C-alpha cells in the first residue's frame, strides 16, 4: 500500500454570503487524504462536510487557501481543466440521483470514460463490476433497479476510471440498513483489495467504522480525528462534540 497523498488542502477557507449573512463554511482547514485509505468525515449538520468535499473535488471554489488533487493545485485550473480532472482523477457517489436515467447500468458505469473518449480497461471493469456484484444487471436502466442496486452502480461508476480518489457524500443515506451495509462493504473492499482511495461523508457511526480513519468537523474546523474506528469509539467521540 502506497503512502503518498491523494488529495490535501492548505488553509482551505470558504465563506458564503457577505456582511450580516456571512457564513464561514470552512475555516482554514488543512487536511490530507492518503492514497489507499478509506476516510470518513463526520460532523453535525452544517459543519461544512459537503463544502469541504466539493472544494477538494473541484466542484466548488475556495474563498482562500488551496486544494490539491495529487499535486495539482485546483485553484489554478479553469472550468475545462477542472472537468478533465473530475472525469480522470476523481470518482463521485452522491446520496441520490447518481445515474443518468436514459443510460443502462453499464453505460452509466463507463460514462466518465466514454466522456473522455477512452476505452475502458476491460479487466478492471470486470473486477469492479464483480466486486459490486452487478454482472447480471448491466443492461438495465436505473428505473429498473432498486435504490441499493442504483447505489452499487454508482460505486462501480466512481471506480471505473480507476480514479486517484473517490468522494462519497452520504452514499447510504437513502438506503435501508441491509442495502447500506452492502454498499459500505463494497467500498471497503475496493480500498482493501483494489487499492482505491475513498473519502466518505456520513452521519452514521456504524458506517464510519468501515473507514480506517475518521475526521470530525465542527463549525468549519477539523476538531478531532480517529484511526481504526469502531462504532463505539466513533459514538463516544461524537458525544464529546455534542452531536
Site string for another protein, 17-56 (x = CB under 8 A): -------------------------------------x--
Question: If contact means CB under 5 to 8 A according to the sort of partner, which of ligand ATP, Mg ion, another protein, none does residue 92 touch?
Answer: another protein
Residue 143 C-alpha cell reads as: 428505473
Q: Is the CB of 99 or the CB of 208 nearer to another protein?
A: 99
Can residue 48 be called a binding residue for ligand ATP (CB under 6 A)?
yes
Can residue 68 be called a binding residue for another protein (CB under 8 A)?
no
DSSP secondary structure string for all residues of 66-135: EEEETTEEGGG--HHHHHHHHHHHEEEE-SS--S-TTS-HHHHHTHHHHHHTPPP-HHHHHHHHHHHT-G
Q: Is the CB of 52 or the CB of 125 nearer to Mg ion?
A: 52
Question: If contact means CB under 5 to 8 A according to the sort of partner, which of ligand ATP, Mg ion, another protein, none does residue 112 touch?
Answer: another protein
Residue pair 68/76 in contact (Cβ under 8 Å)? The answer is no
Sequence-distant (≥ 6) Cβ neighbours of residue 11 within 8 angstroms? 28, 29, 30, 64, 65, 66
The single residue among 157, 190, 205, 217 that binds another protein, judged by CB under 8 A, is: 157
Q: Is the CB of 119 or the CB of 236 nearer to another protein?
A: 119
- In the region spanning residues 209 to 238, those forming contacts with another protein, defined by CB under 8 A, are none
Can residue 50 be called a binding residue for Mg ion (CB under 5 A)?
yes
Question: If contact means CB under 5 to 8 A according to the sort of partner, which of Mg ion, ligand ATP, another protein, none does residue 77 touch?
Answer: none
The contact set with Mg ion (CB under 5 A) reads 50
The contact set with ligand ATP (CB under 6 A) reads 16-17, 23, 25, 43, 45-51
Amino acid at each position: 500500500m502506497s503512502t503518498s497523498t491523494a488529495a490535501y488542502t492548505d488553509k482551505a477557507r470558504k465563506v458564503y454570503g457577505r456582511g450580516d449573512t456571512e457564513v464561514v463554511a470552512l475555516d482554514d482547514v488543512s487536511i490530507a487524504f492518503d492514497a489507499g485509505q478509506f476516510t470518513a468525515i463526520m460532523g453535525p449538520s452544517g459543519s461544512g462536510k459537503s463544502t469541504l468535499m466539493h472544494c477538494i473535488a473541484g466542484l466548488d471554489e475556495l474563498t482562500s487557501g488551496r486544494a490539491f488533487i495529487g499535486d495539482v493545485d485546483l485553484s489554478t485550473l479553469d472550468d475545462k481543466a477542472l472537468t478533465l480532472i473530475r472525469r480522470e482523477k476523481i470518482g463521485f457517489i452522491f446520496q441520490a440521483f447518481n445515474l443518468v436515467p436514459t443510460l443502462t447500468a453499464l453505460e452509466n458505469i463507463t460514462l466518465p470514460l466514454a466522456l473522455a473518449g477512452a476505452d475502458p480497461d476491460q479487466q478492471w471493469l470486470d473486477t469492479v463490476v464483480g466486486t459490486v456484484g452487478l454482472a447480471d444487471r448491466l443492461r438495465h436502466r436505473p428505473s429498473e433497479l432498486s435504490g441499493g442496486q442504483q447505489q452499487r452502480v454508482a460505486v462501480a461508476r466512481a471506480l471505473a476510471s480507476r480514479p486517484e480518489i473517490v468522494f462519497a457524500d452520504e452514499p447510504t443515506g437513502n438506503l435501508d440498513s441491509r442495502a447500506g451495509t452492502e454498499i459500505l462493504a463494497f467500498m471497503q473492499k475496493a480500498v482493501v483489495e483494489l487499492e482505491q482511495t475513498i473519502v466518505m461523508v456520513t452521519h452514521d457511526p456504524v458506517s464510519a467504522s468501515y473507514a480506517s480513519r475518521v475526521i470530525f468537523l465542527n463549525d468549519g474546523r477539523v476538531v478531532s480525528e480517529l484511526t481504526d474506528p469502531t462504532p463505539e469509539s466513533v459514538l463516544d467521540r461524537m458525544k464529546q462534540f455534542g452531536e
